[in-house]
Amino acid sequence: MSTRTPACRAGFALPAVAFLLLLTGCTGPAARDASGGRDPSAAAQRQGAAPSAAAAPAAPRPAALGPEAVPYWVNPDGKAALAVAGHLAAGRTAEAALLRRISTRPQAEWIGPDRSEDAIRALTGAATRAGREALLVLYAIPDRDCGQHSAGGATNAAAYRDWVEGVARGIGTRRATVVLEPDAVMHVVDGCTDSGGRLRGERFELLRDAVRRLKLQPATTVYLDAGNAGWGAPADLRLPLQEAGIAEADGFAVNVSNFRTTEESTAYGRQLSALVGGKPFVIDTSRNGNGPDTQGDPAESWCNPPGRALGAPPTRSTGDPLVAAHLWIKRPGESDGPCRGGPKAGEWFDAYAQELAQNAR
């Protein structure tokens, strides 16, 4: 069962309306899709009949929080920013105000095998010019996601190594935090990807090699994905994470694209940290404001579950020395897959984005 979203495609051209909104503080993070609906009128057409929402105050821009607490880049050409522009163009100011709770926050860029070295260089370069750090998710391991909504990845081990090499060169000496391969370890542990054990050795070798290659970059921090508090016992992950290169990584990531509370995720991460040499960890807080869905079908609890909320905004000031950061790794408002009225994985789901923002505390 996947809890993830697909890899994205970079886009950096800023549409005219979005540029004007940027000047007035109304735009936010990065696009995943190269086609991305750059015309705000097209973005408005994609919204459909989104439910009306009560007016909400705009969230403070991350820059106001200080680069030490929130050092990550907010890409001004994101789907949430385009949705804000579309709502404003249509006169839907309440909806636009709600979505600013998403568009003004730094979120991860999901990098798949279709993202070139030049695209990574452009992305990290833009972050550097803004005085910020790029936050990246590498999501291209062969046979990712067990053939579910985000199936795909590199065609083979050699292609994956070549791709990681290009990503590393694209990052160069610029600052970047990398979350490495959501699901890759967990799907081996639970038998989803490799029920016969045939691919285990190759996958862990690829992850180790990716960690080593990325750590050759002088300003790159690497966190291996380590599942979530609802996906098995920490003890089951000790050896797999060691095989995947946790000793050479900076730490691990928990709750990626999931809904477990920050408290649950912290407890889970602390238990796991004690088993892997005291490594620090980051928590995905993008959609965990109300915790997981416990009322619906458990088999569908990962896919656009109703009643969820944005979680704590991204920060490195977590109050816990083992918790390196709260991050928005999953991009709020982008669909988990074609369920509960949503579009395919990774596409903008405006009604769901409005609900996440409306429910945020």
Known catalytic residues are: 145, 183, 336
Long-range contacts of range 323-326, CB-CB < 8 Å, 24 or more positions apart? Answer: 323/266, 323/269, 323/280, 323/281, 323/282, 323/283, 324/223, 324/250, 324/251, 324/280, 324/281, 324/282, 325/177, 325/282, 325/283, 326/262, 326/282, 326/283, 326/285
Is the separation of the CB atoms in 328 and 105 below 8 Å? yes
In contact, 207 and 230? CB cutoff 8 Å: no
- If one counts every other C-beta atom within 10 angstroms of the C-beta of residue 80, the result is 28
